[in-house]
Homo-oligomer: A and B are copies of this chain.
Amino acid sequence: MWRLSLCFDYAVDVTKPLRRDAERNRQRILQAAQEVFAARGVDVMLDDIAHHAGLGVGTVYRRFPTREDLVEALFDSRLEVIVGWAAEAMEDPDPWAGLNRFAERAIAAMADDRGLRDIAFSRAYGRNRVAEVRERLAPVVEALVVRCQQAGVVRPDVGGADLGLIQFMLAALLEYTEPVEPGLWRRYLTLMLDGLRSGTTPLPGAMPDVEAMDRIAENWRPPRRPPADH
**Which A residues are within 8 Å of any B CB, using their own CB?**
158, 162, 165-166, 168-170, 172-173, 175-177, 179-181, 183-184, 186-188, 190-196, 198-201, 203-205, 208, 212, 215-220, 223
Contacts and interface: CB of A to CB of B under 8 A. Distances in A.
A142 B17 CA distance: 64
Contacts of A172: 169, 172-173, 175
Contacts of A216: 176-177, 180-181
Contact of A173 (B169, B191, B195): B169
Contacts of A191: 158, 162, 166, 192, 195-196, 199, 203
Given A168-B173, A169-B172, A169-B173, A186 B204 contact: yes
B180 A219 contact: yes
A159 to B, nearest CB: 11
A199 B198 contact: yes
A177 to B, nearest CB: 5
A214 to B, nearest CB: 9
A218 B181 CA distance: 12
A180 B203 CA distance: 19
Nearest to A199: B194
Given A173-B172, A194-B201, A195-B195, A166 B188 contact: yes
A169 B184 contact: no
Contact of A190 (B175, B203, B220): B203
Contacts of A223: 223
Contacts of A165: 173, 177, 184, 187-188
Contact of A176 (B184, B194, B198, B220): B220
